[in-house]
Amino acid sequence: MSSQLHQLINQVATVISHRPNPYRDAEEIVCHFAGTPRITMLSSLSTSVDTKVASDCLSAARRVSNHYPLEYVLGYADFLGLRLRVNEDVLIPRPDTETLVIETEKVINQKCSQDALGIEKAESMRVLDMCTGSGCIAISLKKRNPKIEVVASDISERSLYVARENANTLNTAIKFVESDCFENIKGEFDVITCNPPYIKTSLLGNLEQEISYEPRAALDGGETGMDFYERVAQNYRKFIKLDGVLLLEIESQDEHTVKNLKQLFTNAQVDVINDMSNRPRVAIVKESCNGKNGV
């Protein structure tokens, strides 16, 4: 016997009642498997649902009830208005990381406005996004600032496959490079962004069960959580222009992170920006001539 849309949504919401917003997530699941936009669904809640659609929705709900990430079940995540394909090869883009994109865009706009040529400056601006994962940062920056050149790198070939698919789907021209940190990076950049692995190895087992399905390499920051930051600090001057800016997502839960970062980047100005939850989220490292020359 077929059910109506509103009944199916209630059934799915009951199965995933552990979620913070089970009814909203249930709507997302039903919209996905029914192939119906949310606005259309909300205006036709009494419509009968195909038996297979209902079965698929409840099957997906059961997976989510076992703490499998909803985004992996759906096969996508939304990020700054973009819908990106995701699977277990990439970290799920999160709203916190949107702060990094917004702050990077401010830097790009400031650099362009300081130059009398404006558009010409944007066309010559090079941005590197390291640890790109799904490509969420690189693609967002290119979509919002189409004249800049964007290079995106990751150590994982499988992650880069997903990122390339996202870039192609969203008609975004980005150069992708398989690289362990700066290993295969060429040239200098005006801006470098990075959302690196920064969770302490000892804390990985304490994270939410959903996170256990995400790639460990994108999470594990080593014993202190600072492994990748240290590698960046040791090498970034070779790849950044004299007036270049480095923007890093940081661990907001560890009170020592900001102090440790400032110790790593001793020859540069380090400013910290809070996210929407008013937690430290983005470190902005502004290179100086002395720092660039290693003095």
At 206, list the tokens.
């304490």
CB 178 within 8 A of CB 184: yes
The answer to whether residues 226 and 260 touch, using CB atoms and an 8 Å cutoff, is yes
pLDDT digits (tens, 9 = 90+) for 124-172: 899 999 999 999 999 999 999 999 999 999 999 999 999 999 999 999 9
pLDDT in tens, 87-132: 999 999 999 999 999 999 999 998 887 655 555 566 689 999 999 9
Residue 295 pLDDT > 60, yes or no? no
12-43 per-position pLDDT tens digit? 999 999 999 999 999 999 999 999 888 888 88
Q: Record the tokens describing residue 24, joined without a space.
A: 């909203």
- The predicted-structure confidence for 37-75, as pLDDT tens digits, reads as follows 888 888 887 788 889 999 999 999 999 999 999 999 999
Please name the fold of domain 95-292.
Rossmann fold (3.40.50)
Burial of 267 (0-12, 13-18, 19+ CB in 10 A): middle
What are the boundaries of each domain within the chain? 5-66, 95-292
One DSSP character per residue, 85-143 reads E--TTSPPP-HHHHHHHHHHHHHHHHHHHHSTTTHHHHHH-EEEEES-TTTHHHHHHHH
Given pLDDT bands bounded at 50, 70 and 90, which one contains residue 292?
low
Q: Summarize the confidence of residues 175-197 as an average pLDDT.
A: 97
Residue whose token pair is 């010409």: 120
